[in-house]
Structures are given as C-alpha cells and as structure tokens.
C-alpha cells in the first residue's frame, strides 16, 4: 500500500531527484569533504521535514532523491542545500579556497526530475468522467 505524508491541511507525496555539480566540475568531494557534504545535506533535510530516499555524493556532483512537503519549492530546497554546504565547506576546509577564490563552490543551476506513481495518462483518464458535465469547456477545464 502506498503511504502518503500528511501535515495539518495537506496529504501529499512529492518526490524529486536533484543533481548539482561543483563549479568547474572540480573533483573536490572526496574523503572528508564528501562525508561532510553528506552530513550537511542530512542536517538541512532534518531541519526542514525533508526525507532522503536515496542519495550519493560523487567526486564532482551530488544526487539526491527526496520527499518534501508542499510548503517548499524545489528552488528553495536547492538554495538551502547549496548555500549551507558551500558556506560550511569553505569555512571548514580552507584548502578549497585555492580553487574557489570567488566563494562560489557550486556551479550555477541544478537538474530536477519529479517522480511518482501517477502518469499523465492516468490523470487524464481520471478527469475524463467530468468531460460530460454541462459546464465543460473546450480547453479541458470544467466548472461544476
């Protein structure tokens, strides 16, 4: 049976696969830096009710598959992950300053891929029974 997350006024199952890379794709997420990156990401998740489903810190990028509450946007989540980790890693590992003199640890941007058990076709089929409604519009939007 599928489990949903609940908050005071919502029932949700929002999941996203995020990927972001180090600036210039430098392979600096090794050993202690990689472990600390993982720890910082876990802290951000714990503080914001985000559940880590799976993840990996590679030498020059991070993969993170998470379940998150609807009160957050994906861009806010990424901003928190990248911002907190950049600041902490550069404070704790001064050797990174030799490569990242501009205080920018991560490359600009990220990749985000939503996931779930419901397909576009399943939603269309579910809504199809409303098309017979007298107030159905040609644009597919019905007022009941």
Catalytic residue (one of 4, 68, 100, 126):
126
Q: Is 126 a catalytic residue?
A: yes
Query: Which tokens belong to 144?
Result: 């009941």
Q: Describe the strand order of the beta sheet including 15-21 as a list of residue ranges.
A: 51-57, 61-67, 15-21, 111-115
CA atoms within 13 A on the CB side of 75: 2
Polymer length of the chain: 144
Instruction: Give the separation between CA 67 and CA 56, rounded to whole angstroms.
Output: 15
Name beta bridge partners: 11: 6
CA atoms within 13 A on the CB side of 120: 1
Q: Which residues are catalytic?
A: 126
């Amino acid at each position: 049976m599928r489990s949903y997350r609940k908050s005071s006024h919502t029932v949700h199952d929002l999941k996203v696969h995020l990927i972001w890379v180090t600036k210039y794709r430098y392979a600096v997420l090794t050993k202690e830096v990689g472990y600390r990156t993982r720890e910082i990401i876990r802290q951000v998740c714990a503080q914001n009710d985000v559940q880590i489903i799976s993840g990996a810190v590679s030498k020059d990028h991070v993969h993170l598959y998470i379940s998150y509450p609807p009160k957050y946007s994906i861009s806010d989540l990424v901003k928190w992950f990248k911002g907190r980790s950049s600041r902490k890693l550069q404070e704790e590992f001064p050797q990174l300053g030799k490569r990242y003199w501009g205080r920018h640890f991560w490359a600009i941007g990220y990749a985000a891929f939503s996931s779930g058990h419901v397909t576009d076709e399943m939603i269309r089929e579910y809504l199809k029974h409303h098309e017979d409604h007298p107030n159905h519009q040609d644009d597919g939007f019905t007022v009941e």
